[in-house]
Structure 1
């Protein structure tokens, strides 16, 4: 059975056609800044291009999307980083646009599912996954299934509050882990500190050059990530903790040293699960979305 995995992000849409674990083709398109129904159009186009490259028509589509979500109704309640997706019936609209069944999952939950079954947490009975990129998301997998919670709001790990009264997050609240340590947070802090626009790529370069402000900004963010992970371990006690996402995986070694130092500091007196880097890279979301479709079609549940 072939399926299309779709990974909807704040800046890009990735589509991949899978035959089992084999990736037949992959397409990446920008996420429309207008949001709303333009996102559905872009998703449909990504599916069409990926299928054309693979030379096949997939039987089902798995979509990993930011949330929180109403999974029963197939609705995006809101997305912190994409406009026009409030109470948005994404599943119905995408099914109408593609003519295929669409199986929905939170994007970070999808990546967590992939890392659990195929990546850094393979073989564990439970795992916690955190992705640090433009935003911060995550997921908890117990017994091979994603923990969604009673209302489908589980796994929003980037929106735990670490600093009451801190910077305002895209979700509208303040002091979230995402508002303190995601890519946009780093760019905000760096642009303020240097009195000009600084993106994460330049921030990493400034850090490598030994610039003091860049070091303070980057390592402070890493410590927030470690602190957040320690708090989550106390709540879920997973078999392993996996960290991925473009920002974290591309960060220099001192970032990881600061992250792990904070993680272990805030778990003093507790048994710390092993902390691992994600293995599936940027394809984790695609693989997880495809897995979601496979598991739904074959078993009717994740």
Structure 2
């Protein structure tokens, strides 16, 4: 079965035509700064170009998008980095623009699905995925399907509360894992500590040089991630835990050592699932979007 996967990001749209899970072609277009219906037009054009490049016509489209999403209605409730998508009926508009059924998935859930079927959790009955990048997200997969929850809010692991009264998160609440350990949080704390802007790449370099402030900042963030993962394991009891995202995968070894120490420490006395690094990198979202369409068609859209 041929499908097109679409990965909608704040700066770019990636589209890929797939025969099952085999990538036939790939196209990248900029995300329109105007947002709204311009985004729909760009998504439809990216899908068209991917199909044309592969010489196929897809049966369905899978779209991985930021959000929270209303899966029943096919609506993006809001996105923090793309304008004009508040309560936006993306599924209906994209179906009208392409003439094909469109299946939505949260972008982090899509990456979780890809790592489960094709990446670090391949062959496992269940898996838990956490992406640590500019923000923090994730997803849980059981029986090959993403656990979305009753209201489509499942997998928002970055917004679990770890420190009541802690830093304010972009979601409007305090002390979320994302507000404590994501890239934005590290850069916020580093700017305060060094009294100048410091991005994560420089922070990694300072850490490797043994700079004390960088060590404290990175190791503290790693411990929060390990603590958060331990709590999620107690809730979901997955077969394996997968950690991805640009920050985590590019972090120095000391970051991973602190993460694992906290992970095992907060699971003392419990059976501890193996923790693995994600394998699919930046392609996970695109693969997961295509898998979403493939699995939804296979299971009759249910």
Task: Pick the TM interval, shorter chain.
Answer: over 0.9
Following superposition, the deviation at residue 91 of structure 1 comes to 0.9
1:160 aligns with 2:160: yes
Query: Aligned in 2, Cα 1:289/1:13: closer, same or farther, shift over 3 Å?
Result: same
Distance apart, 1:224 and its partner CA: 1.0
- Label 1:207 to 1:49 Cα distance change in 2 as closer, same or farther (>3 A): farther
**CA-to-aligned-CA distance 1:203-226 (integer Å, 9 cap, x gap):** 222222322222222221111111
Match of 2:85 in 1: 85
CA distance in 1, matches of 2:245, 2:16: 18
* In 1, Cα distance between equivalents of 2:80 and 2:182: 13
**What residue number does 2:142 align with?**
142
Which residue does the alignment assign to 2:98? 98
Aligned counterparts of 1:165 and 1:45: Cα–Cα separation in 2: 45
Q: Distance in 2 between matches of 1:215 and 1:41?
A: 46
Tell me which stretches of 4 or more aligned residues in structure 1 moved more than 6 Å: none
2:232 maps to what in 1?
232
Following superposition, the deviation at residue 256 of structure 1 comes to 0.9
- Distance in 2 of aligned mates of 1:249 and 1:159: 21
SS in 1 for 2:168: coil
CA displacement at 1:142 relative to structure 2: 1.3
Using the TM superposition, give the Cα deviation of residue 295 of structure 1 relative to its aligned residue in structure 2, in angstroms: 1.1
Taking the aligned partners of 1:153 and 1:248, their CA distance within structure 2 comes to 24
Q: 1:70 to 1:136 in 2, by over 3 A?
A: same
Secondary structure of the structure 2 residue equivalent to 1:88: coil
**Preserved contact between residue 81 and residue 170 of structure 1 (Cα < 8 Å):** no
Cα distance change of structure 1 residues 110 and 253 upon mapping to structure 2, 3 Å threshold: same
* Structure 2 equivalent of residue 290 of structure 1: 290
* Alignment match, 1:257: 257
C-alpha contact (below 8 Å) 1:136/1:178 kept by paired residues: yes
For residues 263-298 of structure 1, the C-alpha deviation after alignment (integer angstroms, 9 at most, x for no partner) is 111111111111111111111111111011011112
Q: Which moved more, 1:54-63 or 1:105-114?
A: 54-63
Shift of the 208–54 alpha-carbon distance from structure 1 to 2, 3 Å rule, reads farther
Structure 1 pair 210–175 and aligned structure 2 pair: CA distance change class (3 A): same
**Unaligned runs of at least 5 residues, structure 1:** none
Task: Compute the RMSD of aligned alpha carbons.
Answer: 1.9
Residue 75 of structure 1 is matched in structure 2 by 75
What is the Cα deviation at residue 238 of structure 1?
A: 0.7
SS state of the match for residue 128, structure 1? strand
1:32 is displaced (CA, Å) by 4.1
How many residue pairs align between the two structures? 302
CA contact 1:119–1:279 (8 Å) conserved in 2:
yes
